[in-house]
Structure 1
Amino acid sequence: MSIQTLFNPFEYKNLTLKNRFVMAPMTRAFSTDGIPDSAVAGYYERRAAGDVGLILTEGTVIERPSSKNLKDIPNFYGDQALAGWKNIVDAVHEKGGKIAPQLWHVGYTPMQWTPPAAFESPDTMTLADIEATIQAYADAAKSAKDLGFDAFEIHGAHGYLIDQFFWEGMNHRTDEFGGKTIKERSKFAVEVVKAMRKAVGPDFVIILRLSQWKQQDYTAKLAPTPAAMEDWILPLTDAGVDIFHGSQRRYWEPEFEGSDINFPGRFKKMSGQYIITVGNVGHD
C-alpha cells in the first residue's frame, strides 16, 4: 500500500471524505462552563482549512451526573452548548471539512483527598443509572445527527466509563453488566451502540474508539489473546459500529505473537470494518 492511498477519497454510508487523514480527539477544556464559543469554533475551522479529511472533536460529554471531570470540558446537551456546536459544524463545513463529535462520559474519576475533608467512595451504578446513561448516549447521537455532524465517535477507551465496564480491574459487578470474560463485560457498550444506532438509523456512521491500555494502567490487556479480542469486537460490530478507532501507545508493535499486525489492524482483520489508526496497521 502506498502513502498515496491516504490522499484518496473515502465514502461509506452517509460519510464522504476528500482524503483519509483523520484528526484525533484532543481534550482542551476551553469551553467556559461547558459552552463552546466562537474561539472553539475558530480552532476547528482552522483545522478544516488545512484540508484534514475528518475532524474528531475533543471529548464532549453526555447529559449525566459526573460525566465530566473538568468544568470547561464542552457539554453535548442543553440549548446553549448545542447552539455552540451548531456554529462549529457550520464553520467546518464552510471550509469544506467534515466533523464528528467524540461523545464521552468520564465515569469514576478519583479525587485527591485532603484532611479533614470527608472520604467518600463512588456509588455503584444501579440498573436505573445504567438505563438512563444508555438513553443519554442515544440522545447525544440524535443531537449529533440533527446538528448536521457527519458522524460521531463514542469514547470507549483510556479507562473512562465504557472502558471501565470492559476492564476486569474496575468492573466487579455481579449482574448482567459484569462477568469474568470480556464478552460479558462488553454488554454495556453493546447496549450503548444499539441505542445510538436506533436513534440515528442505519446509514449514519458510528465510530468507536477502543484501547487495551488505560490511564490507570498502561500495561492493561482487555483482550490478551486473538480469541478474546474476537469476543470483544464482534458483538460491537453486530451492534452497529461502522469504524473502529484503535488507540495504541506504540503503533509499530504487533498486538499478538505470530503476526506483525497491530492493535487496530486486528480490528479490521476480525470484523471487516473500516479502522482509524496511527502510523500503519502492521508491517506484513
Structure 2
Amino acid sequence: MTDLETGRAAATLSRPFTVRGLTSRNRIAMAPMTRQFSPDGVPGRDVADYYTRRAAGGVGLIITEGTYIDHDSAGTSDRVPRFHGEDAFAGWADVVDSVHGAGGTIVPQLWHVGVTRTEGAPPVADAEPVGPSGVSLTGEPKGRAMTQKDLDDVIAAFADAAAAAERLGFDGVELHGAHGYLIDQFLWAGSNRRTDAYGGDPVARTRFAAEIVAACRAAVSDSFPLFFRMSQWKMNAYEAKLARTPPNWTPCSRRWRRPGSTSSTPPPAATGSRSSTTPT
C-alpha cells in the first residue's frame, strides 16, 4: 500500500457513519469480548469505566460483551452480565450515560448459549442446556431439544431485551448468531437435526433466527438498528461451514431481511473464517 493509499484509508476510518438512528463519530468499532466483570450478572461502575475508557480513547462504536437474555438456560456464568432485572438495568443505564458522555455510541450484544451451557453452572444451576436437537457441537447427546414453547419463550426474551435496550438509551442491539451458540446452532446442519419447520435445508434452518429478528424489529422503533453477528466457525468445530459458496448463502440471508431494507448480509463463505455483522 502506498503512502497515498494509507492516508486515504486513515481518512475513511475517521469519517462518521450512520445506520438508521445511530451515528458514530468514526468507523472504529470495538468488538464484543467476554470480560466477566459483573458479579451476580450486574454491571457495576468498573464496567462503566472500562467501556468509557475505550470511548474516551476514540472508539466510535462499542459492542458490549455478550449479555444473557431472560431465559433460565441462557447463561453459563454468574459473572457475565445479564440483560434483565432492574438491578442489571440500573447498571447498564450508568454504562450508557458514561459512554455517551465520552462521545461514544454503544450497543449490547444479546446472547443465549444454548447447548454449550455447562450443566449445573450458574446463574440458574438446575437449568438444563437446550438446543435444536439435544446434541453438542461435536455430536454427542447433551441437554434436550427445544419445544415450541421453548422457542416462543426465547424469541420473546430476545424481543424484550431489545425493547429494554432502546428504553435504556442504547444506540442499537446486536444479536449473537455466531460461534456455535443458540441461534447459530439452528443455522448449522451439524447441530440442527430437526424435522419440523425449524430444521431441514439451509433456508429452513434460518427460521428461528428470522423469527427472533422479526420479533426484535417489532419491539423497537424503526430508527433503532439491529445488528446480527454470524460466523462460519463454531466453538470446538472450526471446520464448520454454514455455506460453501456465496450463492449457497444468498437465499438464507433473504429470510431475515425486512422488505424495503437497504441492508445486505455478506455471505459467510465470502467473509473469511470470522464473523460479520449486518444492520437491519
TM-score per shorter chain, which class?
Answer: 0.7 to 0.9
Query: Which of 163, 184, 195 is the equivalent residue of 1:142?
Result: 163
Please report how far the alpha carbon of residue 121 of structure 1 lies from its aligned counterpart in structure 2 after TM superposition.
3.8
Count of residues in Structure 1 that have an aligned counterpart in Structure 2: 253
Structure 1 residue aligned with 2:217: 197
Structure 1 residue aligned with 2:100: 93
* Residue 163 of structure 1 pairs with residue 170 of structure 2: no
Tell me: CA distance 1:157–1:78, structure 2 relative to 1, closer, same or farther (3 Å).
Answer: same
C-alpha separation in 1, matches of 2:266 and 2:75: 22
Residue deviations 1:172-191, cap 9 Å, x none?
A: 11111111x21110000000
Q: Which runs of 5+ in 1 are unaligned?
A: 114-119, 249-254, 257-261, 276-284
C-alpha separation in 1, matches of 2:92 and 2:109: 12
Contact between 1:25 and 1:57, CA under 8 Å: does it hold in 2? yes
C-alpha separation in 2, matches of 1:157 and 1:75: 18
Please report how far the alpha carbon of residue 110 of structure 1 lies from its aligned counterpart in structure 2 after TM superposition.
5.9
What TM-score comes out, normalization by structure 2 length?
A: 0.83
Please report how far the alpha carbon of residue 216 of structure 1 lies from its aligned counterpart in structure 2 after TM superposition.
2.4
C-alpha separation in 1, matches of 2:93 and 2:173: 14
* Residue 38 of structure 1 pairs with residue 45 of structure 2: yes
What TM-score comes out, normalization by structure 1 length?
A: 0.82
C-alpha separation in 2, matches of 1:233 and 1:264: 17
Tell me: CA distance 1:229–1:267, structure 2 relative to 1, closer, same or farther (3 Å).
Answer: farther
C-alpha separation in 1, matches of 2:92 and 2:146: 29
C-alpha separation in 1, matches of 2:145 and 2:180: 16
Query: Which of 184, 196, 203 is the equivalent residue of 1:175?
Result: 196
**Counterpart amino acid of residue 83 in structure 2:** F
Identity of aligned residues (%): 46
C-alpha separation in 1, matches of 2:43 and 2:106: 15
How do residues 122-271 of structure 1 correspond to structure 2 at under 5 angstroms?
A: 122-179=143-200, 181-238=201-258, 255=269, 262-263=271-272
**RMSD of aligned Cα (Å):** 2.8
Query: Which of 73, 80, 86 is the equivalent residue of 2:87?
Result: 80
C-alpha separation in 2, matches of 1:209 and 1:244: 13
